[in-house]
Structure 1
Amino acid sequence: MMDDMFSLDNITFDSNATTKDEALKFIGTFAHEQNIVKSEKAFYKGLKKREKEVTTGFKDGIAIPHCKNKTVIKPSIMVIKFNHPIEWESMDDKSVSLAFSLAIPEGENQQHLKVLSNISRALIDDVFTRAILKTTDKEEMYKLIKDKLMTEDN
């Protein structure tokens, strides 16, 4: 399942966002450019609505912004590395420099929870977390995440 949701093209290192709102807009635009969503605006609004419920700021500089939305064309995991740390109201109060963003079609509750759980479990591994935060190479990022999530998926 995870294999279908994540590709090298779903990773970007070029976000100049400096606020959470700018980051969510960037994710909406990126999702639209990757043909993951039909409407970047609708996806952005979904991410923003989800963020109002409770922060998606995880820990160690990582956030997991996500939403289920009818604009989603294909379930996807995106990884965005920000050029500047972003204040995100994270669980540990650290600024965010990397986001795993999930785009899930409306009504796909089981898939949504499984993917979110797999990513959260992977991020408990400090070695993995440090590696993905440190890398500046897209291919290395892809391999690290793919290897870890494929292990977590089984």
Structure 2
Amino acid sequence: MDANVFSKANILFDHDSQTQEEAFHAIAEHVNKLGYADSVDIFFTGLMNREKETTTGFKNGIAIPHSNDASVKRPGLFVIKFDHQIEWNALDKKPVQVAIALSIPQEGSKEHLRLLSKIARKLMDEDFTKIILENDDPDILAQAINEI
């Protein structure tokens, strides 16, 4: 994984979010704080609008929310682990425990599709999914993400 796209700092342990909207707000704040987007509100709206198109809830408690709105300055991948299970309308109808979020610049749609495809393929790997769901060690999580 490109170090400009993901680093251990991109991992967030969210202790507060209990709804999808709160989760999106926490993600937007984290993405903005790390300099990947220049507006919390615009990135948040981008996540919400994308979710209205179709669910980003994958399966097994993992979602892949993403936005390619005008606030995005550079591509990024973020891991957000929630203390509370979040209702997400996921494909398997199960609540989400982990979000692998993406920030995608508007001109980077091809790279976005490639990265999204790589993540989806990796989520088919039960060992990878188990690591992402069960570990709270940032080093272990970062190592797993860097294998994408």
TM range (shorter): over 0.9
- Alpha-carbon offset, residue 136 of structure 1: 1.1
SS at match of 1:4: coil
Q: How does 1:1-154 map to 2 (within 5 A)?
A: 2-146=2-146, 148-149=147-148
Letter of the 2:57 counterpart: G
Q: Paired residues, what number?
A: 148
User: Which ranges in structure 2 are unaligned for 5 or more consecutive residues?
Assistant: none
Runs of at least 4 residues of structure 1 off by over 2 A? 1-4
- Alpha-carbon offset, residue 19 of structure 1: 0.4
Separation in structure 1 between the aligned mates of residue 100 and residue 68 of structure 2, nearest angstrom: 15
Bigger share in helix: 1
| Cross-structure match for 1:152 | none
- Give the direction of change, closer, same or farther, for the CA distance of 1:86–1:21 in structure 2 (3 Å limit): same
- Alpha-carbon offset, residue 100 of structure 1: 0.4
- Alpha-carbon offset, residue 15 of structure 1: 3.7
SS at match of 1:77: strand
- Alpha-carbon offset, residue 2 of structure 1: 3.7
User: Which ranges in structure 1 are unaligned for 5 or more consecutive residues?
Assistant: 150-154
Separation in structure 2 between the aligned mates of residue 26 and residue 132 of structure 1, nearest angstrom: 19
Query: Is 2:14–2:26's contact at 8 Å kept on the other side of the alignment?
Result: no
Query: Is 1:15–1:26's contact at 8 Å kept on the other side of the alignment?
Result: no
Separation in structure 1 between the aligned mates of residue 76 and residue 15 of structure 2, nearest angstrom: 19
Please say which of residues 79-88 and 14-23 is displaced more in the overlay. Answer: 14-23
- Alpha-carbon offset, residue 70 of structure 1: 1.4
Letter of the 1:109 counterpart: S
Separation in structure 1 between the aligned mates of residue 28 and residue 128 of structure 2, nearest angstrom: 26
Listed one character per residue, the Cα deviations across residues 92-134 of structure 1 (whole Å, up to 9, x for unaligned) are 0110000000000112110110010010000000111011100
- Alpha-carbon offset, residue 56 of structure 1: 0.2
Calculate the aligned-residue CA RMSD, in Å. Answer: 1.1
Letter of the 1:139 counterpart: D
Query: Is 1:59–1:94's contact at 8 Å kept on the other side of the alignment?
Result: yes
